[in-house]
Structure formats: structure tokens, C-alpha cells
Structure 1
Amino acid sequence: MLRLSFATGTEPGKWFERFRRATDHGGLETIDADDALGPLLSGDVDVALARLPQGGIDKRISEDTTHIVRLYTEARGVAVPKDSVFAELGESVDPRDIADEYLNYRIGPDASLDIDEIRAGLQVVAANVGIVIAPRPLLKVLSKKQVVPLELKDPQVPQTEIALVWLKENDSEAIQDFVGIAKGRTLNSSRHEAPKKTAREKAKAKQARRSARAKTGTQKSPNRSSQPRKGRRG
């Protein structure tokens, strides 16, 4: 059994399904957590799909003791009221367009996030007041009907990365197989531990091999004369 925590705002359902279908590690137990590193550090899970500062690491972990596999960078985002002019502009917003808007929440300069404060800020946005600046995938998951998450084209806003994190001392084949799936390795890869066959499946396969050998052994060779061919006379 592989135990995994995943950060709010990530949607790794396809990876979970592929892992369960393609491997035989006793299944997968998952926990949705605002802070995916928390369950990892407390020993409740084996690996965390965590949100980290782009190019950096959380102060609670160290590259000396943990493996960190970065998967992708999250787009910058801004949540605006559904009825605002910004929601009508399209998929992205220039920072100059929202410079005068009331800021309910903004991602920290070190890319730190307070998910509870973001939720509270989004409630204010839903009441048609102000904006919230945070990773767009997170805003998409947390936003309600009266809020529209847009891409924010502002290089001054810190970005976050989604990464798989686990303790080096707890490394395992199950973790390595999940990492492979998250990185796009195919189901037929030798890195995956294939599901074990049942006794019935093994018996059927053995019988099929025997039948194939029997058919091969009873096949008649093409008719040929048993007498050696005589050479041509001069």
C-alpha cells in the first residue's frame, strides 16, 4: 500500500487511476491536504505531492534527507468577481488593469501561501469586492460560482511548483513507480512492477503454451522425396 498526500489545487486523479491499474503494491491511499508536507513529516504518508516555491524548497525539508522531483510550474492567477469587467476581458489580465483593485490576499514574496486566508479572501471576492492573487490552479479549485480565476501576466508575482517529495530513508519501488507515472512513463515501462497473475491465469497461460507446442509438434513437413537427388550425368 502506497500512502500519498496531495496539495489542494492539484488534480492527480489520472495518476492515481494509472498507478492502481498498472502496479501491484497493495493499492493507493490518498489524503487531500492544504499542506501536503504535513502528513509526510508526521509519518502519515510515504510521499507528498506538494506545492513548493519555484526553484526553492520548504524550510521544513532538506535536500540532504529528502528526494524532490519537480513536475510542473503553476501559472500565476488572479480571482475576480464574476460580474466584473475583468471577467469579460478573457483568460488573462495585465497587472496594470488591476492596480487599483482592493487586494484581499496576495501570495507571499517567498511564494508562501495561507490556504485558509485565500478561502476567506475568495468569499469577499464572491461578494463583488476586490481580488485575490495566488496560483491559478489553486484558485480554480477553491473559487465558487461568483468568482472567476484568470491568468495574471505579472512576472513580479512569485510562482510555485508542484513536486513529489519523500524521505530518502523511506524510498521504495512503489514510490519510484508513482514517480514514473507522474513523469509520463508508459504503462509498459520496465520501471513499473506489473500486477501479479492469479493461479487461474497462470494455469491458463501454461495450458496455452502446452497447446501451442503440441500443435507445432504434430504439423507435417512438406512432402519431399526420401531418396537423395541424383546428380546430372555428363
Structure 2
Amino acid sequence: MLRLSFVTGTEPGKWFTRFRDRTAHGRMVTTDSEDPIADLLDARADLALARLPDPRVTADHHVVELYREAPGIAVPKDSELTLLDRVTPSDIEGEAVHWRTPADGVVDVPAVRAGLQVVAANVGVVIAPRPLLRVLSRKQVEHRDFAGDGPDTRIALVWGRSGDSEAIQDFVGIARGRTPNSSRQAVPKRSAREKSLAKQKRRAEAGGVKKQTKRPRRK
């Protein structure tokens, strides 16, 4: 069994399906969490899909970066800013910023959620990774790309070096785009009956395509 905690703002469902279909590691337990690194450190998860940077991730952890998040801005649904595809710092001069990604890049998901509640009341803006805003925004809130300077946020798989396993390695491979034909991919084992049926099927197919040679008729 593999226990994985994934951070709010990510959608790893396709990886879960591929892991179940392609491997024989058994049941997979997944949790949508605002703080998957805490779940990893408290041994509630074997593997974390986390948003970095995070000061709790150290040299004792394996880290595999998967992608980077674009910065975004959440604005009230009735704001004139919704007419823009990309908002710049000059566009929000005078606006109340209820939360923005700090210089160290650490994203406080509960704080972003609280800021969006104020934006939904038609007041101010929130600046955060756009994938996170997409998930958390309510009907009264819209989000756009933000062109201002700010730290990068990255989505990565994190796990302890002492807790490495074949199941983790297989999931990491799937998340990185490894195909089913990879030699490192665990293949589900077949039972003796499944092997026998497969062998019979191959024989039947071979017999079905085999050409029969006809003897010429004597005159």
C-alpha cells in the first residue's frame, strides 16, 4: 500500500489511475491536504506531492520537481480587472491586497482561502499561484495571470531517503511520464490460469491464420 498526500491546487488523479492499472503494489491511499509535508513528517504519508519552497524539506529528503506554477491574481467577479487577460502591478494600484506570495515563496493555503473570502465580498485582490486560485475561487471570484515580479512556486514529489521503496519509485516514474513498457515499471503478476488462457489464445490465433496447402488435382 502506498500513502500519498497531495497539496491543494494539484490534480493528480490521472497518476493514481495509472499507478493502480500498471503496478501490483496494492491499494493506494490518497489525501488532499493543505500541508502534505506535515503529513509526511508525521508519518501519515509515505510520499508528498507538495508546493515548494518549504523550509522543512532538507537533505534527508528526495525531491523530484514536476512543474512550475504561474502566478495569478484573484479579483471580484464584477471588477473591471476581469476585462484583462493579464493583470500588471500598475493595474492594481490602490487596491487592497489581502494576501500575496511572500519573498520566500512559501504559500500559506489557509491564508489564501481567508483572503479569497474577502475578495468574494467585492473587496481587494489576492495574489497566489494561479492553479491554487483556480481550485479555491468561489463563484463571486475570478482569476487572471499576474505579470508582477514574484518568487517561483514549484510542484514536486518529496519523500524521506530512509523510506524509499519500489512503490514510490514506480509512482515517481508515472508522474514523470514513464510509459508502461519501461523496464523499471512493475508489471502485475498473472495467475497460472491467466497464463494458461493466454497461451491457449496465442495457439488459437496462430492456428486461425495458418494457411493450408492444397494438393493439385489429378487429371
Query: Structure 2 length normalisation: TM-score?
Result: 0.90
Structure 1 counterpart SS, 2:72: strand
- 1:132 corresponds, among 123, 126, 136, to 126
Tell me whether 1:205 sits opposite 2:198 in the alignment. yes
Tell me whether 1:48 sits opposite 2:48 in the alignment. yes
Structure 1 counterpart SS, 2:99: strand
Q: Which amino acid aligns with 1:130?
A: G
Q: Which amino acid aligns with 1:176?
A: Q
What CA distance in whole angstroms lies between the structure 2 residues aligned with 1:220 and 1:115? 71
Against the structure 1 CA distance between its residues 207 and 114, is the aligned structure 2 distance closer, same or farther, given a 3 Å change threshold?
Answer: same
Q: Which amino acid aligns with 1:126?
A: A
Alpha-carbon displacement from aligned partner over 1:97-139 (angstroms, at most 9, x marks no partner): 1122111111111011221111111011011100001110001
Against the structure 1 CA distance between its residues 201 and 100, is the aligned structure 2 distance closer, same or farther, given a 3 Å change threshold?
Answer: same
What CA distance in whole angstroms lies between the structure 1 residues aligned with 2:176 and 2:214? 53
Who is 1:21 aligned against?
A: 21
Equivalent runs, 1:154-233 vs 2, <5 Å:
154=148, 156-208=149-201
Who is 1:151 aligned against?
A: 145
Unaligned runs of 5+ in 1: 224-234
Q: CA deviation at 1:14?
A: 0.9
Who is 1:78 aligned against?
A: 73
Query: Structure 1 length normalisation: TM-score?
Result: 0.85
What CA distance in whole angstroms lies between the structure 2 residues aligned with 1:80 and 1:219? 71
Structure 1 counterpart SS, 2:116: helix
Q: Which amino acid aligns with 1:191?
A: R
Q: CA RMSD in A?
A: 2.1
Tell me whether 1:96 sits opposite 2:95 in the alignment. no
Tell me whether 1:6 sits opposite 2:6 in the alignment. yes
Q: Considering only CA atoms, is the larger Rg found in Structure 1 or Structure 2?
A: 1
Alpha-carbon displacement from aligned partner over 1:126-156 (angstroms, at most 9, x marks no partner): 11100001110001000001101111011x2
